[in-house]
Amino acid sequence: MKKILTISFLLISVLVFGQKNIIRIENGNISGIRGKNPNVLVYKGIPYAAPPVNELRWKTPQPVTNWEGIRKCEAFSASAIQNKPVPFMMYTAEFLAPQEPLSEDCLYLNVWTAAKSSAEKRPVIVWIHGGAFTSGSGSVPLYDGENMAKKGAIFVTINYRLGIFGFLSHPDLTKESEYNASGNYAILDMIAALKWVKKNIAAFGGNPQNVTIAGQSAGAFGINVLMASPLAKGLFHRVIAESGGIFGLTRKTPSLAEAELVGVKLAEKMQANSIATLRIKPADELLKLNGAMNSPIIDGYVLTEQVHEIFEKNKQNDVPLLTGWNAGDRFPRQKVLNAIDFKIDAEKKYGELSNDFLKVYPANTDEEAKESQNAMDGDILFSWQNYTWAKLQSSKGKNKAFLYHFSHVPPQFSDKQDFGAFHSAEFGYALHTLHKWNRPFQASDKILEEQMSSYWVNFAKNGNPNAKGLPDWQAFDSTNPQVMEFGKTPIYSKLPSKEQLAFWDKYFMEQSNKNK
């Protein structure tokens, strides 16, 4: 009888996937659409939490209300409210959220699957978008999951609250919460999405016991917090973090008390003497303050200590890690110092270590000083963060880390500035979405795309990026640090910026000892 029931279930699953594109999840039935490849089914705009509007503004994500009949999940939902996405520098429309709709009602996710039945238990990749925690969306064109689904993964993208909507802290919000904290709502959204995946992804042919969280820039920052947060324990089993982390160096993660003070000042600026008044303020008014609060904090609930300390004590959610950064990971400086001022600034900031600093970031000429400032900014914001992440995981944790460096320069249009291997240049290759990016790609680009995306899917399958036909990628060893270099072709090679990274290790250690 049990065997008959099992066969019946599989036949029903195949029928649902194969003909009607209808599946049942926790809250009801949903319908999807076929991808460009008819073997891929796409479900867009699935709610994973109630709309965080009105009295739910600045509340933890609440359960979705069940529905009757079939809910059409055939088009993307609104992206989280943000300033109108407008192309700038190298960031063309392919990197940005759609210009509309934008809304506070944004807690939705999207699923791509090529599974033929719900019994397949394919590896799951949950992509968390970047955008400095003030912009972005799960519907960014370059996040399209069809090719990753064709490679065997269930691919999920999510939206989460941004800016002041996702991070406002205030004493009154802390007081009304059941966990005596406020802020970090964006991170709580991510956790709610992962809980949804755990409950529902099997219906799409995914394995809830093999979930990889992946993301870039702010997405990687968020993942860093998730890996450190006790609330996310057991919700994921691998981590892919591209160009981002919050291990501290020149800026530490703020405390709840510090964030509450900022929140009080913002409320005063809005002439709001209560949270109730803030909750009825039009979203467009609050949007003007979107950059005022846009980062995770140590609230004692989502995050209990500095991330670096959590990893040092091996208290992180210990899972296999794949991480790295780009050769051009940096942003244009608002103010570039000349050589003399750069040296003076170095002496003020680094004291006894200033000579060591100027050896690795020389300033013998103004041009050299400019180059050093660009390199320094990239190393502080990205290189050292991801290098440190791999180093701590490999030395403190039980699971392996795999480190990469992306130096491949995408082809440029003749009338566009060459931005090199810029911040965000890698994920079109890693997610196999170059077909969504309007650049004159060559055969070599397509080969690299195939290789990188295969590494990513292999890692999601078993915690190791390697497979037959790919150059060998060894696990990171802090005693002999090397990286998988993604240039024209992947090659395992020496750690780039080794001397610069060693300086920041030394500087960070000194700062940590001073604060003890």
* pLDDT for 14 beyond 80: no
| Cα angle: 185, vertex 186, 187; to 5 degrees | 90
Give CA–CA dist 311/391, Å, rounded: 10
Give CA–CA dist 231/15, Å, rounded: 37
CB of 194 closer than 8 Å to CB of 187: no
Q: Which residues contact 88 (CB under 8 A, 6 or more apart)?
A: none
Q: Taking Cα atoms as reference points, which of 478, 470, 477 lies closest to residue 447?
A: 470
- pLDDT recorded at residue 515: 67
What is the pTM (predicted TM-score) of this model?
0.94
CB of 249 closer than 8 Å to CB of 147: no
Mean pLDDT, residues 38-61: 97
- pLDDT recorded at residue 414: 59
Q: How confident is the model at residue 450 (pLDDT cuts 50, 70, 90)?
A: very high
Give CA–CA dist 211/44, Å, rounded: 19
Quickly count helices (H) and strands (E) in the chain. Answer: 17, 16
Collapsing DSSP states into helix, strand and coil, what is residue 330? coil
* pLDDT for 12 beyond 60: no
Tabulate helix, strand, coil % of the chain (nearest 5).
40, 15, 45
Q: How confident is the model at residue 333 (pLDDT cuts 50, 70, 90)?
A: confident
- pLDDT recorded at residue 11: 37
Q: Give the position of tokens 């890698």.
A: 426
* pLDDT for 132 beyond 60: yes
**How does pLDDT run across 192-210, given as a tens digit for each residue?**
999 999 999 999 999 999 9
* pLDDT for 249 beyond 90: no
**How does pLDDT run across 413-436, given as a tens digit for each residue?**
756 667 899 999 999 999 999 999
Give CA–CA dist 387/367, Å, rounded: 27
- Which has the higher per-residue pLDDT, 476 or 251? 476
Q: Give the position of tokens 């024209």.
A: 488
By DSSP bridging, strand 490-494 and strand 482-486 are: antiparallel
The chain-wide mean pLDDT, for the chain, equals: 93
Give CA–CA dist 34/25, Å, rounded: 18
Element holding 246 (H helix, E strand): none
Where do the domains of the chain lie, and which CATH numbers do they carry?
Answer: 1-311 (3.40.50.1820), 320-516 (3.40.50.1820)
* pLDDT for 9 beyond 50: no
- pLDDT recorded at residue 384: 96
Neighbours of 113 (CB within 10 A): 29
Catalytic residue numbers?
A: 217
Mean pLDDT, residues 142-161: 98
Q: Pinpoint the alpha helices (H) of 154-290.
A: 163-167, 171-176, 185-200, 218-228, 256-269, 275-279, 283-287
